Structure 1
Amino acid sequence: MFHHSKELQYEVRVEEPDPEFAKMLQQAIGGVEGEMRVALQYMFQAFAVPKKKHQFRTMLMETAAEELGHIEMLATAVAKNLEGASEKDRDRAREDPIIATMMDSGQPRQALSAGLHAMPVDSNGVPFSGNYVVASGNMAADMYANVMAESTGRLLATRLWEMTDDPGMKDMLSYLIARDTMHQNQWRVVLEECFEEPMPIPGSFPQEEENQKYNYAFMSTFCGESEDPEQPWTQGESPDGKGEFSFLSEQPGGGKPDLEKVIEEMYNEVN
């Protein structure tokens, strides 16, 4: 169950409306690094948490709901940048020929389809895809995915922070960057404190069933023999503490990829 408040999670101020920056902000809404991704990612991960692990479900759902609030903030920022921009502001942005091209061909749908408001798309106008969402059902795997999602999200927010001189936009982005810092640490705590052996994933697979010659070997794909570069990933103990890294100078090889037959029903004739 969700409850909605009329108040934004954090104040959104735009002192100098900028239609170009509104387009950039769309990446933080519907892009692969955006808030729609993490909101749905944490929500669907929570749906898969069993009853006995209810504390993780609660944490995931709390964070998912927080990310929904971030979408609302960013959508408000997009609208304020678009609706508040004067004709003079829009003409000034067009003085740069590259920006003018972007404005002319980048997202006319912000006006035509959304009436100068935000849309569930990225900065190129590509619709948000559910394929961005990682919810594997394996909590350890999902936590690694969450750290990555928050890392790229924080990277995007810092880049946006550098792209604007508007004090209100910098203030909003400073808040979002801070929350990304918290969430990165939050997911790392789950990994480090709640899983005795988080690697390799899944931990329930019997590791003795792996090919023991290759499970901790860095494999060179150069043609011919090559020397061990003597790097941390080619020698020494592996991070999971279950093996020793080694170096293989060549791939094992396994015959030619010749197909025995063509499936007739697929009409895959090779003429």
Structure 2
Amino acid sequence: MFYHDGGKLQYPVKVEKPNPVFARALQQAIGGIQGEIRVCLQYLFQAWGSRGPTKYRDMLLETGTEEIAHIEMLCTAVALNLEGAPTEQDEAAKDPMIAAVMGGMEFQHVLTTAMAAMPIDSSGVPFNCSHVYASGNGAADMLANAMAESTGRMLACQLYKMTDDPGMKDMLKFMIARDIMHQNQWLAAWEDMGGRSNHPIPKKNR
């Protein structure tokens, strides 16, 4: 089902000036409740449980697979923002780990991963699947997906405003555009299923 193309990212990721604090902020887009792990798993589990027309299952699988590529891009961005980043905020802070914490870095980036991304949010909380929604009702799931892409786009826009790095802005512009496309895609699928005529969800009490 998945295809990997020899180390190529879906979209180029470049960082001109590493920023460990921004690396921590990017973790929210990886492992936060608005992040890419959440939507990736949400789409895949909806697809694996789908009993409706195969076109919806295929759409979910294809989009879930694309979200893996977005996780890869964000993890690359975190690593590049940590690579060679200044950790010394104060000349008195000789210990690089202490300096890293003083500078607002994620402690686990220093201690656990050798300066790489993790499946955590910007507060260091591990991703736990509590916001992965796969109800088994196609119409309900499409609305949940449109909402997930909306909050994901809000986060990407906030991250865009936080950085002045041209490479990071370029990557985030791409991700914002994909979020818009996915919002429209899920709403179009909801309309194709009957839109408002499907409401209330479910139609019958069980």
Q: TM-score, normalised by structure 2?
A: 0.89
Distance 1:101 1:7 in 2: 34
Consecutive unaligned residues in structure 2, runs of 5 or more: 91-97
Match of 1:268 in 2: none
Q: 1:149 to 1:101 in 2, by over 3 A?
A: farther
- The CA deviation at 1:102 is 9.1
Contact 1:17 1:80 in 2 (8 A): yes
Match of 1:190 in 2: 189
What amino acid does structure 2 have at the position aligned with 1:27? Q
- The CA deviation at 1:198 is 2.1
SS in 2 for 1:131: coil
Deviations 1:129-157 (A, max 9, x none): 11110001111111111111001000000
Count matched residues: 196
Q: 1:48 to 1:142 in 2, by over 3 A?
A: same
Match of 1:141 in 2: 140
Deviations 1:34-53 (A, max 9, x none): 00000000000001112x51
SS in 2 for 1:130: coil
- The CA deviation at 1:204 is 3.6
Distance 1:77 1:154 in 2: 17
Structure 1 segments of 4+ aligned residues over 6 angstroms from their partners: none
| 1:157 correspondence with 2:156 | yes
Distance 2:161 2:105 in 1: 21
Structure with the greater relative contact order (CA < 8 A, sep ≥ 6): 1 or 2? 2
What amino acid does structure 2 have at the position aligned with 1:42? Y
Structural RMSD (CA): 2.0
Contact 2:11 2:171 in 1 (8 A): yes
Contact 2:100 2:107 in 1 (8 A): no
Consecutive unaligned residues in structure 1, runs of 5 or more: 93-99, 207-271
What amino acid does structure 1 have at the position aligned with 2:36? E
| 1:55 correspondence with 2:62 | no
What amino acid does structure 2 have at the position aligned with 1:72? E
Distance 1:3 1:204 in 2: 40
Q: TM-score, normalised by structure 1?
A: 0.69
- The CA deviation at 1:103 is 3.4
Contact 2:20 2:105 in 1 (8 A): no
